[in-house]
């Protein structure tokens, strides 16, 4: 502790470091991750969580956070939930936290930046810690897509719709995927080949047990759709990976959005999924004082905007913006978790940025695992840090596109080598 405090003081007296040396430096005021766990990801409408409510899923995961961290819940000052579809999310997170065992002195809130909501929640908690507003908090992302409501057909005032980009915010996600495919000539074959690789990587990872240290079992109730009989089940594994998936099998699937194009399908797009993931964050000095294991350092995150009609390419803008802030290049990054909302945008981002595919989505991505909207940002942290530990690699980059034309990216340094 004394050594780290001395290093912190010396860092202010010596020339500013840049690049890898700067982000890997350890200081008492660093924001660190001491726990990163998630639920299994279940198929929407027909999987193990189809009859589970969002509040119970959040409650169950928060109980696991308390159990696995062995931290006095009174130490947690704030909890932030990333969620997209539930209008009662702010009520839900507060009630679920109280029921899970957090005291009424632990505050709670919800945020919604569509598919980046989990990363946004992480950023919000981390920013509070770095500013000294709190010392410890939990970021959680959760989504029950099985309970998703219907999309409002025309949510904007007619004067707003006179601006084309504002009107484009209403485009269905499938349409934006077809826009990317057409505008940047991402062929159906390229998309199917990318999707096949995602499935095959997820299958390999699942068979090898690579997900086991990031998943916590969740016990819930499932109702038989025919008999109405209810039974208790414990989910332990992701339901999305379809073992044996090949390019040939994917190439036979019909287009999912024929009104807009013929390249995106149910096989090369992210799955409708239920799930949640949580990240426990605190100051490094607090973690050391409380004997909490330091898994990683939170370095930072950023967001950017772009044309709504091609929202999928958001990571291609957010990633360079984030790396530029820390004087890094993609060569400095060891593991990349890029959300596979659609194969169209994933292929574009890989090509546009020159990403080494061998270090991106090593365990498969949202096409194979699923994309529970609000949970993806925190799920990527859980998966990415676990993969960093497995490979004994240091620097993790996460990124995703965001509906209405945005992109976000986050940066972490694994400290379990």
Catalytic site includes residue 401? yes
pLDDT, tens only, 60-95: 999 999 999 999 999 999 999 999 999 999 999 999
Neighbours of 325 (CB within 10 A): 14
E strands of 5-158, at which residues?
31-38, 42-43, 78-82, 107-111, 136-144
Catalytic site includes residue 349? no
Catalytic annotation, pick one of 136, 349, 371, 382: 371
For the chain, what is the mean pLDDT? 95
- Single out the residue of 331, 340, 326 nearest to residue 398, CA to CA: 340
pLDDT, tens only, 215-225: 999 999 999 98
The confidence score (pLDDT) of residue 154 equals 72
Please state, in angstroms and rounded to a whole number, the distance separating the CA atoms of residues 201 and 366.
12
The confidence score (pLDDT) of residue 111 equals 98
The answer to whether the Cα torsion of 228, 230, 231, 236 is positive or negative is: positive
HSE (side-chain half, CA atoms, 13 Å) at 42: 30
pLDDT, tens only, 157-199: 999 999 999 999 999 999 999 999 999 999 999 999 999 999 9
Q: What is the mean pLDDT of residues 250-255?
A: 98
Q: Is the pLDDT of residue 12 over 90?
A: no
pLDDT, tens only, 288-302: 999 999 999 999 999
Q: Is the pLDDT of residue 204 over 70?
A: yes
Q: In the block, which residue shows the tokens 């766990």?
A: 37
What is the H or E stretch that residue 386 is in? Answer: helix 376-391
Catalytic site includes residue 388? no
Q: Who contacts 127 (Cβ-Cβ below 8 Å, separation ≥6)?
A: none
Q: What is the mean pLDDT of residues 110-129?
A: 98
Q: Who contacts 336 (Cβ-Cβ below 8 Å, separation ≥6)?
A: 355, 359, 360, 361, 384, 396, 397, 398, 399
The confidence score (pLDDT) of residue 151 equals 64
Q: Is the pLDDT of residue 152 over 90?
A: no
Q: What is the mean pLDDT of residues 119-142?
A: 98
Q: In the block, which residue shows the tokens 């909490």?
A: 292
Q: Who contacts 177 (Cβ-Cβ below 8 Å, separation ≥6)?
A: 257, 261, 263, 264, 269, 312, 341, 342, 344, 345
The answer to whether the Cα torsion of 231, 232, 235, 236 is positive or negative is: negative
Catalytic annotation, pick one of 80, 382, 388, 401: 401
Please state, in angstroms and rounded to a whole number, the distance separating the CA atoms of residues 166 and 157.
10
- Single out the residue of 416, 298, 285 nearest to residue 3, CA to CA: 285
Across 19-58, b (16+ Cβ under 10 Å) vs e yields ebeebeeeebebbbbbbbbbbbbbbbeebbbbbbbbbbbb
The confidence score (pLDDT) of residue 155 equals 82
Q: Is the pLDDT of residue 392 over 50?
A: yes
The confidence score (pLDDT) of residue 9 equals 46
């Amino acid at each position: 502790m004394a050594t780290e405090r001395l290093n912190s003081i010396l860092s202010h007296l010596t020339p500013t470091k840049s690049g890898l040396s700067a982000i890997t430096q350890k200081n008492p005021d660093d924001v660190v991750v001491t726990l990163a766990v998630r639920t299994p990801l279940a198929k929407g409408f027909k999987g193990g969580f189809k009859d589970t409510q969002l509040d119970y899923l959040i409650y169950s995961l928060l109980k696991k956070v308390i159990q696995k961290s062995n931290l006095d819940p009174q130490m947690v000052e704030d909890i932030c939930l990333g969620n997209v579809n539930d209008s009662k999310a702010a009520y839900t997170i507060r009630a679920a936290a109280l029921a899970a065992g957090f005291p009424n002195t632990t505050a709670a809130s919800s945020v919604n930046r569509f598919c980046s909501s989990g990363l946004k929640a992480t950023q919000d908690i981390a920013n509070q810690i770095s500013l000294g507003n709190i010392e410890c908090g939990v970021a959680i992302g959760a989504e029950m897509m099985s309970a998703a409501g219907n999309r409002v057909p025309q949510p904007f005032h007619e004067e707003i719709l006179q601006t084309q980009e504002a009107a484009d915010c209403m485009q269905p996600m499938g349409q934006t995927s077809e826009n990317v495919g057409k505008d940047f000539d991402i062929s159906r074959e390229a998309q199917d080949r990318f999707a096949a690789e995602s499935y095959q990587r997820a299958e390999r990872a699942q068979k090898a047990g690579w997900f086991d240290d990031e998943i916590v079992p969740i016990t819930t109730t499932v109702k038989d759709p025919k008999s109405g009989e209810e039974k208790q089940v414990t989910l332990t594994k992701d339901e999305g990976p379809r073992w044996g998936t090949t390019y040939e099998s994917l190439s036979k699937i019909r287009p999912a959005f024929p009104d807009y194009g013929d390249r995106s399908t149910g096989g090369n797009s992210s799955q409708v999924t239920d799930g949640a993931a949580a990240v426990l964050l605190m100051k490094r000095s607090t973690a050391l004082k409380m004997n909490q294991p330091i898994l990683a350092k939170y370095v930072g995150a950023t967001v950017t905007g772009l044309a709504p009609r091609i929202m999928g390419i958001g990571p291609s803008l957010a990633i360079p913006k984030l790396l530029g802030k820390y004087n890094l290049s993609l060569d400095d990054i060891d593991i990349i978790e890029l959300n596979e909302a659609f194969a169209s945008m994933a292929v574009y981002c890989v090509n546009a940025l020159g990403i080494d595919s061998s270090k991106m989505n090593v365990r498969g991505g949202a096409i194979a695992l699923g994309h529970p909207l609000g949970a993806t940002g925190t799920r990527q942290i859980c998966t990415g840090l676990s993969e960093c530990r497995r490979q004994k690699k240091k620097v993790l980059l996460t990124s995703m596109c965001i509906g209405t034309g945005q992109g976000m990216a986050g940066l972490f340094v694994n400290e379990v080598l």
